[in-house]
């Protein structure tokens, strides 16, 4: 059969199942108010938790970076693409996370593929939470190690997969689960890892900048050290508001990644100006603790309001708040109606989340106002 015939049939099935994915064009900068599909909307879908993606100082740092270093990095880090801003950012990230060293990756997706591939090979074991981000799962598959998925946040389930063999065992988990907003039980995972001599890796994409008094992320929140969680990965495109990702850990870990991580070696370094912008943003993350305080206050305000409206929210104290509806078509319908009323909440459906758990994923930002949150609550109350 002809390519297009096969694909069209497949696409039709997706559409019927309510699984068809569409992109909507945003015609404005990111922010709590965006212009989307020709309509002004209050945005409750972004991962720009601290409101830094279009912060004037971050934008200025980007522009200055371009004036000084040009637009592109021209090569991978190991050829001639590793520039002053990249290196400064790595040093700042190591200091901020309180770790020996940090290594920049162009994206978080690549970081996860690279880390797991560099640490794990055939015959080794990768243990992952069932609800981990796709990039962690793909990293394990690509590594050719054996992947075992334990029940969500369940240390007993994890323990049943750990062995006493001397093969390498890597436990990898989201810190804040990206589609649920709950936290991994990291202290318990660290204890189990120590007992079984397994290595623990946390992907703090949604905790970095958001959790901990200074925004150092989930490890600050739980007061966990490099010793107990040797591999920390986080991204710079969410709370930091720019682009890119990094890994932080020991000298030996970082040197190993430089030698072996294929998604580090065989890809172009991110634009140097993006590193300049991330550096400025990191300074704001660290200093402006009011952003996290405001965010926490908004989360509480939203949850209190939702409770009085008897909306069924999943348990989460982070800016990721979800209403699980189950039915794909229903989630799409509600998302569409919200947009018509000037509110943007994206419909999250399988395979991003397990079958039967389609949901509205609402994200809050330090830049939201209480009255914007109230508008969302009122609209939800009418539609549910
Ligand atoms: C977004 C995300 C990534 C991927 O990061 P990018 O920089 O967007 O490629 C990895 N892990 C988690 C948990 C994420 O939410």
Domain presence at residue 329: yes
Residues of the chain with pLDDT under 50: none
Looking at the fold, whether 135 and 274 belong to one and the same domain comes out as yes
Domain presence at residue 3: no
User: Is 335 in the active site?
Assistant: no
Looking at the fold, whether 274 and 341 belong to one and the same domain comes out as no
| Ligand 1 and 65: CB distance under 6 A | no
Please tell me the total count of domains within the chain.
2
137: tokens are 């799962």
Q: Tokens 């890994």 identify what position?
A: 247
Determine the distance separating the centroid of ligand 1 and the alpha carbon of 360, expressed in angstroms: 19
Q: What per-residue confidence (pLDDT) applies to 181?
A: 98
Q: What per-residue confidence (pLDDT) applies to 384?
A: 85
Domain presence at residue 125: yes
User: Helical H runs in 232-369?
Assistant: 251-260, 262-265, 272-287, 289-308, 328-340
pLDDT digits (tens, 9 = 90+) for 235-262: 999 999 999 999 999 999 999 999 999 9
| Ligand 1 and 178: CB distance under 6 A | yes
Looking at the fold, whether 313 and 257 belong to one and the same domain comes out as no
Q: What per-residue confidence (pLDDT) applies to 75?
A: 98
127: tokens are 């243990």
Looking at the fold, whether 218 and 191 belong to one and the same domain comes out as yes
Q: What per-residue confidence (pLDDT) applies to 312?
A: 87
Among 255, 272, 287, the domain-final residue is 287
User: Is 196 in the active site?
Assistant: no
Looking at the fold, whether 296 and 230 belong to one and the same domain comes out as no
Looking at the fold, whether 345 and 358 belong to one and the same domain comes out as yes
pLDDT digits (tens, 9 = 90+) for 135-194: 999 999 999 999 999 999 999 999 999 988 789 999 999 999 999 999 999 999 999 999
Among 239, 256, 287, the domain-final residue is 287
Strands 231-235 and 245-249: antiparallel
Looking at the fold, whether 249 and 326 belong to one and the same domain comes out as no
- Residue in 82, 86, 238, 368 annotated catalytic: 238
Q: What per-residue confidence (pLDDT) applies to 359?
A: 95
Looking at the fold, whether 275 and 304 belong to one and the same domain comes out as no
Q: How many CA atoms lie within 13 A of 178 on its CB side?
A: 26
| Ligand 1 and 105: CB distance under 6 A | no
- Residue in 206, 221, 294, 368 annotated catalytic: 206
Domain presence at residue 6: no
pLDDT digits (tens, 9 = 90+) for 102-122: 999 999 999 999 999 999 999
Determine the distance separating the centroid of ligand 1 and the alpha carbon of 108, expressed in angstroms: 5
User: Is 206 in the active site?
Assistant: yes
Looking at the fold, whether 205 and 306 belong to one and the same domain comes out as no
Looking at the fold, whether 224 and 167 belong to one and the same domain comes out as yes
Domain containing 319 — which CATH number? 3.90.1150.10
Q: What per-residue confidence (pLDDT) applies to 164?
A: 80
Ligand 1 mutation target, pool 113, 178, 243, 270, most atoms within 8 A of CB: 178
| Closest residue CA from atom 6 of ligand 1 | 108
Residues 6+ apart with CB under 8 A from 363: 44, 45, 46, 47, 49, 319, 320, 321
Q: Which atom of ligand 1 is nearest to the CA of 132?
A: 13
Determine the distance separating the centroid of ligand 1 and the alpha carbon of 206, expressed in angstroms: 8
Among 261, 287, 313, the domain-final residue is 287
32: tokens are 């709590």
Domain containing 143 — which CATH number? 3.40.640.10
Domain presence at residue 13: no
Domain presence at residue 34: yes
Q: Could you tell me the residue range of the domain that residue 246 belongs to?
A: 56-287
Cross-strand partners of 203: 174, 233
Looking at the fold, whether 214 and 274 belong to one and the same domain comes out as yes
Looking at the fold, whether 80 and 61 belong to one and the same domain comes out as yes
- Give Cα separations from 256 to 108, 142, 260, 316 (angstroms): 18, 18, 6, 36
Closest by CA position to 42, among listed 325, 298, 312, 324: 298
Q: What per-residue confidence (pLDDT) applies to 165?
A: 78
Ligand 1 mutation target, pool 49, 106, 109, most atoms within 8 A of CB: 109
Q: What per-residue confidence (pLDDT) applies to 166?
A: 84
């Amino acid at each position: 059969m002809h390519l297009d015939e096969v694909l069209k049939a497949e696409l039709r099935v997706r559409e019927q199942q309510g699984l068809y994915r569409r992109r909507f064009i945003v015609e404005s900068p990111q922010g709590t108010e965006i212009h989307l599909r020709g309509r002004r909307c209050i945005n409750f879908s972004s991962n720009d938790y601290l409101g830094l993606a279009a912060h004037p100082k971050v934008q200025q740092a980007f522009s200055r970076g371009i004036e000084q270093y040009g637009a592109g990095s021209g090569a991978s880090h190991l050829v001639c693409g590793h520039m002053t801003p990249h290196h400064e950012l790595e040093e700042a990230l190591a200091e901020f996370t309180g770790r020996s060293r940090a290594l920049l990756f162009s994206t978080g997706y690549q970081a996860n593929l690279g880390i797991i591939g560099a640490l794990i090979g055939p015959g080794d074991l990768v243990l992952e939470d069932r609800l981990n981000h796709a990039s962690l799962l793909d990293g394990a598959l690509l590594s050719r190690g054996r992947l075992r998925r334990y029940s969500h946040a369940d240390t007993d389930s994890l323990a049943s997969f750990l062995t006493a063999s001397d093969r390498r065992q890597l436990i990898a988990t989201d810190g804040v689960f990206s589609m649920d907003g709950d936290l991994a039980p990291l202290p318990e995972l660290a204890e189990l890892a120590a007992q079984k001599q397994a290595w623990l890796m946390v992907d703090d994409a949604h905790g970095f900048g958001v959790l901990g008094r200074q925004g150092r992320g989930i490890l600050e929140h739980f007061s966990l050290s490099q010793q107990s969680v040797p591999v920390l990965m986080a991204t710079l495109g969410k709370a930091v508001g720019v682009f890119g990702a990094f890994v932080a850990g020991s000298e030996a870990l970082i040197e190993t990644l430089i030698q072996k991580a294929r998604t580090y070696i065989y890809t172009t370094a991110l634009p140097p100006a993006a590193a300049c912008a991330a550096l400025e943003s990191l300074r704001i993350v660290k200093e402006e603790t009011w952003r996290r305080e405001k965010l926490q206050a908004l989360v509480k305000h939203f949850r209190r309001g939702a409770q009085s409206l008897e909306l069924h929210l999943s348990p989460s104290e982070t800016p990721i708040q979800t209403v699980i509806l189950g039915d794909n078509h229903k989630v799409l319908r509600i998302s569409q109606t919200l947009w018509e009323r000037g509110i943007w909440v994206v419909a999250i459906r399988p395979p991003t989340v397990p079958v039967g758990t389609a949901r509205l994923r609402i994200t809050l930002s330090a830049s939201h106002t209480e009255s914007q949150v109230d508008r969302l609550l009122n609209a939800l109350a009418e539609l549910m």
